[in-house]
Chains A and B, each alone.
Chain A
Amino acid sequence: MNSESTNAVLLGGHLPPLQRRRFGALMTTVTMLGLAVILAQAMVVVKARPQDLITGIHGMADLLSRSVPPDFSSFPSQLWPALETLDIAIFGTLFGVILALPLAALAARNTAPAPVLYHGARAFIAVCRSVPDLVWALLFVTAVGLGPFAGALALTIHSVGMMGRLLAEVIEDMDMGPMEALASTGAGRLQIFSHAVVPTVLPSLMSITLYRLDDNIRSSLVLGFVGAGGIGFQLLTAMSLFDYRTVSLLLIMTFVIVIGAERLSSALRQRVA
């Protein structure tokens, strides 16, 4: 009742009752039509052909039958790429946070020493964040060659972008009191940062880092597709060799790693909170 009357005010409340109801119905129809048009153009653009799903069912069944049972005999040889995947994520997260923290201090209004540095840091963080990690990986593969190092660098840069922004927000939200108090004792700028800001934001810093690690593990699985090492690279190789039993093994490993990382990260985050 209440929302109806609100709608009436918004949509032709100046009209008499009968016309008002008709006006409402008209607006509903127009909205529905609009949504239908948007959906239709999306289906055309993505070339959606539902019938292909039905005719393709054989292909899928074939694929499935060829991928069971998973090829567990190759499991030991996949452990190294799995470790690579994890280490790419760990490298990217740790170096990401080491770079992001000082940048965040420059990019937070209350701790930035000069406007130039503030805007510079903000811009740098924005660039790191807005270029997807997969694109960074492609760039680094070109620069340092195929292999996990390219992936690790890509995740580092992307993490700086993601964590830098979050940390800057945390720093901007913190209580300025301890910083003022330290400034009044004659402490230097860096000392104020390391003795007042860092201890205060530490819990947020930990939880942002753990969350990022979880995200980075998922990204690092995909990075292999552009040649940046790890399980993704094995997956790409196995698929191009039509070795579907290895593919299914790798997917199981991926599943275990992703779920494990998610669980571990959330358990640790609850601890630091």
Chain B
Amino acid sequence: MKNIVSVKQVHKNYTLGTFVVHALRGVSLDVEEGEFLAIAGPSGSGKTTLLNLIGCVDTPTEGTVRIGDNATETMSERDLTRLRLHTIGFIFQSFNLVSVLNVLQNIELPLLLQRSASAKERRQRVEALLDRVGIREYARHRPSELSGGQRQRVAIARALVTRPQLVLADEPTANLDSVTGTNILDLMKELNRTEKTTFIFSTHDARVWAYASSVVRLADGQLVDRVSAEEAVRVGGVGNLPSARTT
């Protein structure tokens, strides 16, 4: 299978006054098309930073990130935005829906930004996704009128509406109760299977690893290992991770 993501020896440092935080230290990672990859690790391990770099919302201090055939380090801000719009879908921990737009408009928003689909096509795609994520009856509702699970479904639909090759989900179940979280993971998994969309999601919840095709474990900004879901579940929670080592 072809790699959709290729991260090579990536370092990311943040400067806080005179103090430098090494968020990622020499991480390398390849993700094949169609994978359902979980990035695991405790808080502060660098999961979100790695997702930011893969999602082209941040640039590495050192190293390279390739998305498909695109070497992101050479791309302009405008091209990176375009790449996000056309290739990557985002699901956020806090759903991040536009509060002043209704469900339908939130889902349609990326298509409007793309400016490629006709109104009819947009409507068809949005309606299909509304059915798919099971919130058709809430199409005219505002985000504030929905439950957490429903909002995340809207976020999933918005992430998928442009038919991206890659969907990045940052702790998608963190703000949901366990039942709703499970439902969301089921939905994502199903979409991964049916749409062949690559999913990369970060989580520190060991229960959700079982859904992943493989689990990349991070600690202290370093990639500890990459194991199968079964292995990850067997090993247990993030507290049981072996010492960080460079892969």
Do A and B originate from a single complex? no
B positions within 8 Å CB-CB of A: none
